[in-house]
A and B are shown apart, each in its own frame.
Chain A
Amino acid sequence: MSSIDPALQSFVRKVHAMMIYRTLLKWSVVWLMISGVAVLATRFTGELPTNWWQWMLGSWTALACIAWYRESLRQPESKQLRAAFDRQNQAGGLVMAAAEVDTRSWEAKAGSFMLPSVQWNSGRVWAGILLATVFLITALLVPVKYASLFSDPPLEISQQVDQLHEQIDILESEYILPNNEAEAKREELDRIAEQASGFNPSKTWEALDQLLHTNEQLAQEEAEDALSKLKAINEATLLGKALEMLPKGLKDQKAMEEGLKQMGNLMQQLAKAGALDPENLPPELKKAMAEAMKQLAKGEGPDAQQLKQLLEALENNQDQLKDLAKLLGQKGLIPPNLADQFKPGQGGIDPGPLAELLRQHQGDFQELLQELGGELGGNGGINRGPGHAPLLYGNNSSEKGSEFKEQKLGLSVPLEQAKLTGVTITAPMVTGGEAILGKGALNTAQAGGGNALSAPMLPRHRGAVKRFFLRPGINPPANKD
């Protein structure tokens, strides 16, 4: 064995160790940066695991193993390292030759070989490690509240969400929205609230607006439906009250029969439209209404007690519809003008005069209803009634004795008296002051300067002309001297 070999082997190990160290440090910079980003991402999205340092230690150990393996694969050939050792020791090829021939006779003469140092200019890498370490430590220590500010700035929508939740509850409790759809809407609302982000507030606001719009649409449809029912109930109530107040002597008369028939029809329509909700009525009213409905269906009028109970049931339903509208209006689900239409009419028609009218008409009940029209609603709203008023053109002014005022026009020059002064291929050139345009209003007017608006100056214009030319600053006053 050559005496060179131990030193050479040390040199080989030194170079290999340096290459592993260099690669590991370089990779550590990237590893620290990635770890910092991972820590930040974890802290932003959730909790940092308690054994995070074990993860980091494990990953760094794996990194070191990979670096060692990679550099082992890339290790220079031994002859190259031997050549480098030879060069650094200025051995003049002796170390290289030792791999091929016996050089022992020269090794003693050459003396001991120095182990070259392997130097790495690692300043930039250490600077990178320092920066990456600071970054990692910052990522570990930064307060989470600031972190969350960066990651997801809050969007305050709790008030809107509560309001929408309340609306959905109302819609569900009033059977406007089925249970499953209400639940779906709640889930969607919760999802919107969860995903609300200050980075993209418009998305959240749009989603909330959409939800609000669908709620309002449902409520409005329901309110409009309720309004039409309310009107029908009002009609029936009014009619019932009128029937109740009719004089007893008229009960067998035709008007009474007609009234009952109409009321029966109305009640049928209400029942069919679902306006009469017997579910919320007390049992006795419910029973009375059922009896009254049966009798009305047969065309028989209810007795006074039944009529009274029926009216009570109708008023009860009226109140329910009004309460519903009031509730929807309070929660902003229907527009105020629609809610106002449910309010009790001010100065509604007193059923007493109505009954009197009915009695007077003696059975022309349909005509009575048409005349009373929308006032039967009694809801106090402003409307134009069931139809527009007919356009009547009466009392036309008479043309008798009226005539156009006669006006005498000026005479024109007859053609035969006209004098040919010349023929031109274009419009004749008018010379100023010489051409007389004609008679009539322009009789004395003279053409000049091509101005079509030339007007004759009359004596009454004298004052105005004088004032024009005496305007201060335009023309100095004429020298009186």
Chain B
Amino acid sequence: MSESSSLLKPAELEPATEITRRICEQMDLCLLGRESLHRLVVIGLLSRGHILLEGLPGLGKTALVRTIGNILQLDFNRVQFTPDLMPGDVLGTHILQQTDNGQREMIFEPGPVFTNILLADEINRASPKTQSAMLETMQERSVTLRGQTRELPDPFFVIASQNPIEMEGTYPLPEAQLDRFLFRVLFDSVDAEVLQRIITERRQGDLPSPTWQASRDDLTFLFSVMERIFLPKPVAGYIARLVSATHPDHAEASESVKKYVQYGTSPRAAIAMGEAARAHALIDGRPTVGFEDVAAVAKPVMNHRLILNYQARFDRMDTGQVLADLLDELDETGLDLPADVSLKNA
């Protein structure tokens, strides 16, 4: 049995779990009241996925990205997307410059995308043209200009924030770009108790410096452990059934899917879910992925990939409710026991 196909030993997994625990701990220390969100962000990073944060201004989206950059000691750039932002402003541009030998050449000036973590702030305020410029960087992790492809630094993450599309002056992200985000995480307001702590402990909104920082080696080690988290076939089967069941014409589709969903999720969602479930198992200190890992990441993975129909708007249904119904109705094991028979823990 080769090492890649063998299960991680406890001694191999525990250091990785400890690193993730520390990262989460530092994030919880810096940003108050966002524990579950921090875990999702770490899962996204471990899965090498991009994250779309959706919420109103002032909820701490930028602070979150800055904190994760600090903890992981990664380069961090922030781009404020505006309607007049051009693709070259993000990707970089060629500038005519005089060389040392007196000749003039088009020299490439890299844009802010050439970094480890790119915060695309209010991404839905930019025009579709500029939004689409991000497609290659997000999927291929490279930039092609004037026929020349340049690799982006490794690791490369895009953490985008967007305002709810009901707000004025926003352009909804195209489905192709939405599909490239691993998660869409809804940024809710914190409760009054947390707010009180923020007021008392965060004067002027200053973020405390992390007491511990991960090294690049740690990150590389985490990525290598991630590769060896085992995804059992029944769990893979469950992910496949879950993604298939988001299509209204599928046999296992729930009633709400049949009624409200126009287009289901893509195979990219299944891949993303598998990776995210692995990361969740890693954070949880397990070498194998279980059904609970899938359930934990299913909603953020799929909620921006489902396209609902007009009936859903009339009935004020959102993707979260549709997915909740689907997760409730679909049996993870596929055991298909009769409705009056149930399994209980002894």
Contact = CB atoms under 8 A, between A and B. Distances in A.
Given A80-B234, A105-B10, A117-B343, A87 B333 contact: yes
A64 interface: no
B343 A84 contact: yes
Contact of A119 (B9, B284, B288, B342): B342
A76 to B, nearest CB: 5
Contact of A101 (B6, B238, B293, B336): B6
B1 A92 contact: no
Interface stretch (A108-116, A174-182, A189-197, A240-248): A108-116
Interface string A42-85: 00000000000000000000000000000000001001111110
A13 B287 CA distance: 29
Given A22-B338, A117-B345, A120-B340, A109 B10 contact: yes
Interface in B161-188: none
B320 interface: no
A121 interface: yes
A100 B336 CA distance: 23
Contact of B290 (A91, A115, A118): A91
Contacts of B345: 88-89, 114, 116-117
Contacts of A89: 345
B21 to A, nearest CB: 16
B335 A100 contact: no
A83 B292 CA distance: 12
Interface in B298-346: 332-338, 340-346
B62 to A, nearest CB: 35
B292 A105 contact: no
B333 A80 contact: yes
B39 interface: no
B233 A18 contact: no
A404 interface: no
Chain A, interface size category, equals 35 or more
B338 to A, nearest CB: 7
B238 to A, nearest CB: 8
Contacts of B36: none
Contacts of B233: 79, 96, 99-100
B342 A83 contact: no
A97 B6 CA distance: 10
B9 A105 contact: yes
Most chain A CB inside 10 Å of its own CB: which residue of B1, B232, B284, B287: B232
Interface string B271-290: 00000000001001011111
Given A22-B338, A88-B345, A106 B287 contact: yes
Interface string A16-34: 0011001000000000000
Contact of B344 (A76, A93, A117): A117
10 closest Cβ contacts across the A-B interface?
A93-B288, A96-B232, A92-B290, A93-B290, A83-B234, A83-B333, A97-B288, A92-B286, A121-B340, A84-B333
13 contacts: A76-B337, A81-B335, A82-B234, A84-B343, A87-B332, A89-B345, A92-B290, A93-B230, A93-B293, A96-B235, A101-B5, A114-B346, A120-B340
